[in-house]
Amino acid sequence: MIEANVIIPVKGFDTGKSRLAAALTDEERAVLVRNLVKRTIGCAVAVVGREATYLLSPDAEVVAAAGESGVQGLLQNGGGLNDGLDELRRRLEPVRTVIVSADIPHIDARDIRAHVLIGGVGISPDREKMGTNVLSVPRPGTMRFRFGYDSFYEHRRAARRAGLAVTVIDLPRLRLDLDRPRDLRRLRAHLAGMKRRTT
């Protein structure tokens, strides 16, 4: 295993992916979130092991599920992701730290490994090159986290201010995150295309 921290922020199983409410029932959204989190945990554990894989959430149910999966669950006090990550940095080993969105359906362990092994700051943007789907920093607290609107730009600017080199890891399978109904349609179209090619 490689010495690094992998943090997977999860808003909540029942409260996550609220913007998909027009396309999925509450139960379907909860199942989707659980499956996405499970996949992301598996990818992280394959690279850094269970002791260095963390689920960060304001939801006690998610933290309990982390324990059931054998990874570390951390209940955040702050309301937003940036505040939660700021709380967490004081509790982590001072090694390479990778924050991975839990809604990337095509993520692979190789993608996390690439971010763990990179120097400086590594960023994987979303499809629109506005959001940050994966962020890798040399250590917790190296720079301010800027998740939110236009975070891809904001994280690059924060890295430059901290004097850190930035590498953009723009891989097709990391671009799709399931935020809106159109993202779900893209995923379904992709899966349908794969099925046609294998039959």
Q: What is the pLDDT of residues 126-167, one digit of tens each?
A: 988 999 999 999 999 899 999 999 999 999 999 999 999 999
Is the pLDDT reported for residue 190 higher than 70? no
Residue pair 104/40 in contact (Cβ under 8 Å)? The answer is yes
Tell me which residue range forms the domain holding 148.
5-197
Q: How many CB atoms lie within 10 A of CB 120?
A: 15
Domain count, the chain: 1
Q: How confident is the model at residue 27 (pLDDT cuts 50, 70, 90)?
A: confident
- Alpha-carbon span 162 to 130, nearest angstrom: 21
Residue pair 126/147 in contact (Cβ under 8 Å)? The answer is no
Question: What is the reported pTM?
Answer: 0.85
Q: How confident is the model at residue 77 (pLDDT cuts 50, 70, 90)?
A: confident
- Alpha-carbon span 189 to 100, nearest angstrom: 24
- Alpha-carbon span 124 to 70, nearest angstrom: 27
The residue that leads in pLDDT, 21 or 134, is 134
What CATH number did the domain enclosing 160 receive?
A: 3.90.550.10
Nearest CA-CA partner of 90 in 141, 50, 146, 52: 141
| Three-state DSSP state, 180 | coil
